Structure 1
Amino acid sequence: MESVHRLTSAFNRAMNDAIMAEEKVDMMTNIKSMSILFTEMCANVEKCEAEKMRFKKEAEQNFEKYQELQAKADGYDDVVEQLHIALLAKSDQKFASPIFDKIRHEVHENLQKIDNYHRILANYQLEIERNKRMEKYIDELSKCTVLQRIGSRFFAREVAAVRQMLNLVQNSPNVDHATKSRVWDEIEAENNVLRQNTLWLINRINGDDTDNDLMPRVVVLMRSHAHQGLGLEITGGCDTFRPVLITAKLKGSMADDDELRIGDRIIAIDGTFLNLTSRHSDVMKMLETESAKDYLALVVSAFNPFTDDIVSNQLTVVERTV
């Protein structure tokens, strides 16, 4: 490159001299010098191109050799790595058998644990089904117990009425016959009402459910935990000239029972029958008081404003108890 620059400078200088020459001889001399310099420059350029091609070819050859050497080096690395693996495997061969035995033992234990888990899970599901059946059986027994308590309460009232009749006969010798006969008839009439109520309830306990939805039903609401509320909304009463009806049930509450339906008419609350003078506030207070226990027994029936008169005739005797 230095020779090319040198020739270029000389060529430019000769050209300037030729341009500035005043005589023809000097101009020819400068032009000849320019021709010589141009020839040398072309020769140098060809020489540079030849050297450039030679260097390029040598570089390609060296790159091919580099690739061959790199491939050999990679192959040697693989061989060395395989040798290391072989040496390591040979050195660890005496420990391999205990390790594999331990792994096989652990796998066997894990499979045994999985089998035990499935067996325990199956037993757990079986116990869940048994508990469900037992809870249903216990609920039925509890409801029967509650109904029998209500029946016993009615029977106790009937016995009390009979006792009043006996006291009237034994302890009232000075009462005239007409007064004694009138009191006897009143007590006997009340006792007949109590007897009919008792027989009705006992028949409901021991009998099958009727298909007629309008007939009275005994529904026992059980408390499943200490913080469970009644969750029952009602409407009606003598102050609104309507029967007491169930309008809503709170999910998860004591009232959340399939046997208790929205729209049912409440006839009795835990053995106390409602009558035409029962106000809404009285019924609410009665529900709050009785629901504080672990159970609440309701006598209900489906309410139909078009056919309720027929049912009312069947319940007339029952409602006279209060």
Structure 2
Amino acid sequence: MTTDVAAPTPVKAPAEFSVVAKLVAEAFGTFLLAYAGLGVALFSSPSSAPIPTPFAVGLSIAVGIAAVGHVSGGHFNPAVTLGLAVAGRTNWRLVPGYIASQLVGGLVGTLILWVTIRTLPSLSSGNSSQTIFTQLSNGFDDLSPSKFPMAAGLLAEVVATAAFVAVILFVTSKRAVKGMAPWAIGLGLAILVQAIAPITNASLNPARSTATAVFAQGNAFGQLWLFWVAPLLGAVLTGLIFRGFGSPDELHGATAGGVEDLTAEATRDDGTRVSETAVAVADAEQGRAAARPTEGGEASGAAAAPEEPGREEAGREEAGRAPERTAEDDAREFFDKDR
């Protein structure tokens, strides 16, 4: 008589959000950045709204990631999307749609600010509103807050964006502290914006630069190219470094929201596309079922093989021997000792 052991309940992989939901989430997050972050820069004063502009920009990103990061990954920035794709954290098929959604979200947020400014009688003329958005836009030479040249602006934007993408990649690593990603990313952005604001008015985001340049004077739009080239270049450099030296199991392992990347897909034998998480769960369950003893006391799918002489003693000696430690084991123990 055998005792049946109840099979463990399979863990259902979370359903992947549709592409439309991801695009809407990216548009919403970029809208929040443009409307809230740039709105503080436009309307705040130390007496009525004492939040500094860099902190408001970083806080808007953190809130956006916490709100919809589980849907799309919470990029809200074409440079971040490209950098994560190069690093292997985002599927390339999503990159064009993400960038288009980010541009739309940023333009809508800035359009609302522009309409709000035009309601003031003293600022109802087109020249006045354009002047305000020119001061809010990114630039170099005469449009730089401290009159820095183009070379300084290019260097500052490349380095700052590379550092920002590095923060995102590290804080969303599988070994990172869970739940800290939105706030670490937001605070990191706030620090970097504060650092280079006197040089270029701090872009780090082509969608943000485009959103303000559209409503600014022509010279601001003429300098927009730098605020596409520099952030994208910095993001690609960081992505390549991470791809070359990062752990292979980090590929498609996390998103900017600090959750599992549900955009990575695999294909079943019947052609059905499912998430890699679902495939891993199914494979693990199939392995447990194959190893479970049947009523005859044998493992399913295999016949019992006769024991070779001396094999049982050798097995006991092997089981009592401690496994050899490697340098990788020592490193893992060092990083995991406090977890």
Q: TM-score, normalised by structure 1?
A: 0.20
- Name which structure has the greater RCO, CA cutoff 8 Å, separation 6+: 2
Q: TM-score, normalised by structure 2?
A: 0.19
